[in-house]
Amino acid sequence: MVTVATLLLLRHGRTTANADGGLAGRQPVELDETGRAQATAAGERLRGLPLATVVTSPLIRCRQTLELVLPDASPVVEEGLIECGYGSWEGQPLKKLAKDPLWPVVQQHPSAVVFPEGEAMAAMAARAVSAVRSWDARVTAEHGPEALWLACSHGDVIKAIVADALGVHLDLFQRIVADPASVTVIRYTPLRPFLIRLNDTGGDLSGLVPPRPKRRRAARRVDSDAAVGGGAGSTR
């Protein structure tokens, strides 16, 4: 099997908007008490991993999450991982948005959705997938194929990346779940991506560290004058 870098997708912890049932979008909402506890628990699982690189959405909820998860890390901001631009939907209660004629399209045919004054979901998916694939290639080139790296982002962004890895249409991405502070793991091999874990909120992650490749022993040189089929004591 070809050894490749391993991507860990971390969703930010719960925010005040999550708790209140609102659509945060790109607003500067912060983690609530539960979200901070979730991030701290995720940190207990992730801190032992030798992460080569950590990248993050620029939004404060992701940066707060990483401050708790990996306090010694220096995350690199990646604009391609920012939340979908929900436009005029941002900041509104989900109960209200559920009555909007666009809501069933978001749920059943998201590839066709362009949010009012906002971003197309297909555009969000394309730039998020492009960002993680580009970073994965960079990490592999700089740190080797055994490297682990982490990207902190948002629910819909992670779901879109997973849909791409599974080779399913964006219209099916609402079937995927990425809970707050969950970890999803993908490996991009030359042949196809592999989804290693999805929405993991409590499992042991130490098994993600690949074993060091065994050093091959040099083959013993064969004397070209040796008799074929004969040993050293052959009388032939």
Interval 56-94: pLDDT, tens:
999 999 999 999 999 999 999 999 999 999 999 999 999
Contact call for residues 9 and 183 (beta carbons, < 8 A): yes
Predicted confidence band at 34 (pLDDT cuts at 50, 70, 90)? very high
What is the per-residue pLDDT across 86-124, written as a single tens digit (0 to 9) for each? 999 999 999 999 999 999 999 999 999 999 999 999 999
At 150, which amino acid appears?
Answer: L
Q: What is the pTM of this model?
A: 0.88
At 75, which amino acid appears?
Answer: P
- The pLDDT score that the predictor gives to residue 209 is 87
Higher per-residue confidence, 101 vs 232: 101
